[in-house]
Structure 1
Amino acid sequence: TYPLATLQELAAEVPTIRAIKDWSGDPTVAERHVVALSALRRPVNVLSTHSAWLFPSLVTGCQGLLSGSGSVIAELQVALFEAVQRGDMAAAQAINARIRPTAEVFYAEPFFDMHNRMKEALVLLGKLPRAVVRPPLKKISAAEIGRIGEALAAAGLLPAQRLAAE
């Protein structure tokens, strides 16, 4: 993420900038970006890519999400966005509780395996025939795939009986 002053300069100089992807890693910095960029003469939207804390990102004012886990949980992310936009925090909290297990399993250490975990989730959900891993990364373990299945079941995306049959 660029420093706020740089983002403000770019927004002033490049009229086609309509949004930025925020991955500052810090909720206070992300909120500062939202407040400052929304107040510009030509406002710039802030799209959060903080997949581990999408709900707080939206509550602080991010205007959208750019999350890798959207390949797996897009419906939940849309529902979360819409609940926050409506101001229905109870619904947003309930949806976030469903998202949390997936965020915890996808973004666990080692962090660089996040996309391999998402591919395995898509296989478990029947959306991919197999998870292809590109070198130098290695296929994740059967135990980790099991944890992904448990997270999908906890999120209400994979029936528990199907998980037991796998």
Structure 2
Amino acid sequence: MIPSHTRPFRGIYTATLVPLDDQDRIDTDRLAQHFAAAVATDGIVGVLCNGHAGEVFLLSREERRLVVQTAREVIGNRAIIVSGVLCEESGEAQRHAADAQAAGADALLVFPPFSWALSQETGMVLRHHQAIARAVDMPMMLYQAGVRAGTLAYPAETLEQLVQLPQVVGIKEGSWETAAYDVNRRLVAQAAPHVEMMASGDEHLLPCFAIGSDGSLVSLAVLLPEEIVALDRAIQRGDMATARAMHARIQPLANAIYGTAPGGLATVRLKACMELLGRWPSGHGRQPIGALDAAEMARLRGALVAAGLMGAR
């Protein structure tokens, strides 16, 4: 549900996960509980489902639609539902976007196709987003990839044109580097000041929030929603002592999940934390990712203890 006030898309969103049963099917009951928990904290305005943390790249078209349907049934009357669209071909992306709209999503987050990590140019990027915009009448968010993600990250001239598409309302900014974030923020503020710039690099929340942000779509909010909301609010009121205290809670766990090689295990690390905290019976991902080994689990247990989320044993 999109609120009726001015600038309705501002705020903190939980980027949700997908629980699987022992047959690697989506556990819909647990997924429903997950969505309810994801927006239970005051200050969380919505969810991003079918994102990278939601293993969108490993879900079928039908499963992506099921995820949105479940979110709509559970939280559709009280939170914004943003659904990711990740497809290599624009026609397929149009069909996935239409599915998301029919299933009850409020907005789309269009991810760059993974093939763009090898090569992209402004025309193809614009045509992809314009094709999706023709297929549905929905607000659209962009994804700005990390500075080390090859050509998945949009150069300035491409980003400047993208934010001027009439459907664009926000950007999940994941440059994962504060100087790049600041450059992009300044560009968007000049080219399209109505577009919300949302600092979403989980390891860089304090500096990016301090530079200035309109919110965040962040998977670490699955584990630390109160701390992330408190960090954002503290920065907004200029309370750096509280901001640093929240950062001290957030940063070690963020580093353990996202900042430890290989970075491709970040999603399954989040899911493993759900298992370690007793929220899910299993935190495994789909193949080829699977489950973490004992050493990874022990390291994450230590990070959860350090964050105050579980007691030492």
Kindly provide the CA deviation profile for residues 12-39 of structure 1, in whole angstroms up to 9, marking residues without a partner as x: 3x22211111122331111012122223
Tell me, in whole angstroms, the C-alpha distance in 2 between the residues paired with 1:117 and 1:45.
29
1:64 aligns with 2:190: no
Higher strand residue share: 2
| Aligned counterpart, 2:247 | 96
The answer as to whether partners of 2:199 and 2:208 remain within 8 angstroms in 1 is yes
Aligned residues: 160
Tell me, in whole angstroms, the C-alpha distance in 2 between the residues paired with 1:16 and 1:138.
37
CA RMSD of aligned residues (A): 1.6
Question: Aligned ranges for residues 73-88 of structure 1 at < 5 Å?
Answer: 73-88=224-239
Kindly provide the CA deviation profile for residues 34-61 of structure 1, in whole angstroms up to 9, marking residues without a partner as x: 1222234643211122111111111111
TM-score, normalisation: structure 2 = 0.48
- Over 3 Å counting, the alpha-carbon distance change for 1:142 and 1:20 in structure 2 is same
> How far off its partner does 1:83 sit?
1.2
The answer as to whether partners of 2:176 and 2:203 remain within 8 angstroms in 1 is no
Tell me whether 91-100 or 123-132 shows the greater mean CA deviation: 123-132
The answer as to whether partners of 1:124 and 1:149 remain within 8 angstroms in 2 is yes
The answer as to whether partners of 1:116 and 1:140 remain within 8 angstroms in 2 is yes
| Aligned counterpart, 1:111 | 263
Tell me, in whole angstroms, the C-alpha distance in 2 between the residues paired with 1:55 and 1:42.
22
Kindly provide the CA deviation profile for residues 88-141 of structure 1, in whole angstroms up to 9, marking residues without a partner as x: 111111101111111111011111111111111111222212112211113212
| Aligned counterpart, 1:148 | 300
Aligned residue type for 1:87: G
Residue 118 of structure 1: SS of its match in structure 2?
helix
> Once the two structures are aligned, what percentage of the paired residues are identical?
34
Unaligned runs of 5+ in 1: none
TM-score, normalisation: structure 1 = 0.87
1:132 aligns with 2:132: no
| Aligned counterpart, 1:17 | 168
The answer as to whether partners of 1:101 and 1:152 remain within 8 angstroms in 2 is no
Unaligned runs of 5+ in 2: 1-152
Which aligned runs of 4 or more in structure 1 are off by greater than 4 angstroms?
none
Tell me, in whole angstroms, the C-alpha distance in 1 between the residues paired with 2:248 and 2:225.
15
Tell me whether 50-59 or 60-69 shows the greater mean CA deviation: 60-69
